[in-house]
Amino acid sequence: MRKISIIIPALNEADHIETCLSGLQGLRNGGHEVIVVDGGSTDNTQKLAMPLVDKILQHEKGRARQMSAGAKSASGDIFLFLHADTCLPENADEHMLACIKESEYCWGYFNVQLSGTHWLFRMIERCMNLRSRMTGIATGDQAIFMTRWIYEEVGGFGEIALMEDIVMSGKLCRIIKPVCLRQKVITSSRRWERNGIVHTIFKMWRLRLAYYLGADPVSLARQYD
């Protein structure tokens, strides 16, 4: 059986990490691997995660750096990069393996559902799913997965401070089109709820546009934070 390494970058995720990891225990029991890469949490993230993972790594803050460290430590031949506030659908491994078995150079992502109940969240998630299907560009909220071979072929995530998911999707698309699984991951809507739904939408559009126009990712990361 092919082994999946689930790599989770985390930073002060004590409120969400147990929910995320609890849903992965069936995958661990099935022979897959769960790795949390902590970026210097000052809360109980590491303590809460420890009994529920195969490895906890500590690394410099930065999602791309943390995921790269997790991939370097991983023993699986398939990598799944999962946000700490995102939960996988039931039998996620079976859906991934069914599409990956056809090619060593394969990658994909899931449809996304936001946790909030506001009607605007239904519109946001539909737009996210439609956009990714039309462009082949996925966001980290969609639980991007890929074979080790294609990850190494494109050189991993590198040191980019922000937009690492967009950059990775672009590099992968140049090799092969992604597989979009219709099963949905459920990701937290806290960002929109905390900062305002409309404000957050326009902020993310503005940051992406600035990146495409050549803005420095380090500067964009400061604005994002």
Residues contacting residue 94 through CB under 8 Å, at least 6 positions apart: none
The predicted structure's pLDDT at residue 214: 67
The helix/strand/coil state of 89 is coil
Joined tokens for residue 135: 């462009």
Instruction: Read off the pLDDT of residues 114-139 as tens digits, 9 standing for 90 and up.
Output: 999 999 999 999 999 999 999 999 99
Q: Which of 173, 162, 114, 116 is nearest to 141 (CA)?
A: 114
pLDDT bucket at 218, cuts 50 / 70 / 90: low
Average pLDDT, the chain: 90
Kindly write down the DSSP assignment for every residue of 106-151, as one continuous string: -EEEEEEEES--SHHHHHHHHHHHHHHHHH----GGG--EEEHHHH
The predicted structure's pLDDT at residue 8: 98
Q: Is a pLDDT exceeding 80 seen at residue 191?
A: yes
Strands 4-10 and 78-81: parallel
Instruction: Read off the pLDDT of residues 17-28 as tens digits, 9 standing for 90 and up.
Output: 999 999 999 999
Q: Which residue has the tokens 């992968």?
A: 172
Q: Is 99 exposed, middle or buried (0-12, 13-18, 19+ CB in 10 A)?
A: middle
185 backbone dihedrals φ, ψ, rounded to 5°:
-85, 150
Instruction: Read off the pLDDT of residues 60-115 as tens digits, 9 standing for 90 and up.
Output: 999 999 999 999 999 999 999 999 999 999 999 999 999 887 667 799 999 999 99
**Total residues found in the chain within this entry:** 225
The predicted structure's pLDDT at residue 69: 97
Domain ranges of the chain: 4-191
Fold observed for domain 4-191: Spore Coat Polysaccharide Biosynthesis Protein SpsA; Chain A (3.90.550)
Q: Global pTM?
A: 0.90
Q: Is a pLDDT exceeding 70 seen at residue 170?
A: yes
> Cα–Cα distance between 101 and 129 in angstroms, integer?
24
